[in-house]
Structure 1
């Protein structure tokens, strides 16, 4: 859906991306709207699926996941891995992509042996290629609102 967003909607989205727990009253103060007006706008943004939900930002290392890896899976058989990745808690992102790979996944593992078990399970769906993340420069960045003229 490519819905027109006015300056108030854009600012509300920006504020919620910075702090999803910000009260509607505080958002209203910052965008110069009443709390009920902000609440109605947020409800509309939610019902139009512009806001899909609210989540806590959890530190994987604090839970014992010391390794983040990107795993590419090459398969010519459609998406046979779809059910597996939906139920595997260590696979936190999975994208079907163009090119030689069928999918690219972001995986969390507690150690190398744990990562190897996940790779072995994914090998049942096609050949894999794994890269361990050394440094994360950008993660969870706010989505910019495109300006349409």
Structure 2
């Protein structure tokens, strides 16, 4: 790896930040479109994107689905505390159930906070029945999401 591909301190310059923001808004933008947006040539933009990927700043390009549009009418947040000796088993169970779309291992009384996308309340019951064999749960139904998952604020370096 070439040394000029390193991003010092993981902070981005203004052009890198603009490129990341544009791609976050529309990951399908072409290199040419990105170049026009930041007043740079396509090869220069391509080199910057390669540098950002190699540094691990950009780890992928994705599609965002609207769960409701594909039949998931209910979301729930589940806090879980494993029964003694069941931590690994609980983690594996969560990973095996595709309706768990996010899960964080946390400190405090609970060990996992997870988000589920569900077709209906009966599906929630089926999943919780499996989880309750190895963990205590506390479930909340999501009424709305004022802040959808978003990218972390960009740290700008230098100027």
Quick check: TM above 0.5? yes
Over the residues paired in the alignment, what is the CA RMSD in angstroms? 1.7
Q: Match of 1:81?
A: 90
1:92 to 90, 101, 114: 101
Which one scores higher on RCO, CA 8 angstroms, separation ≥ 6? Answer: 2
**Offset at residue 79 of structure 1 (A):** 3.8
**Offset at residue 125 of structure 1 (A):** 2.5
TM-score between both structures, scaled by the size of structure 1: 0.92
In the alignment of these two chains, the number of paired residues is 149
TM-score between both structures, scaled by the size of structure 2: 0.86
Gaps spanning 5+ residues in structure 2: where? 1-6
- Structure 1: which 4+ aligned runs deviate by more than 6 Å? none
Distance in 2 separating the partners of 1:46 and 1:128:
39
Q: Match of 1:45?
A: 52
Q: Is the 8 A contact 1:79 1:102 kept in 2?
A: no
3-state DSSP class of the match of 2:78? strand
Distance in 2 separating the partners of 1:82 and 1:44:
34
Q: How does 1:108-123 map to 2 (within 5 A)?
A: 108-123=117-132
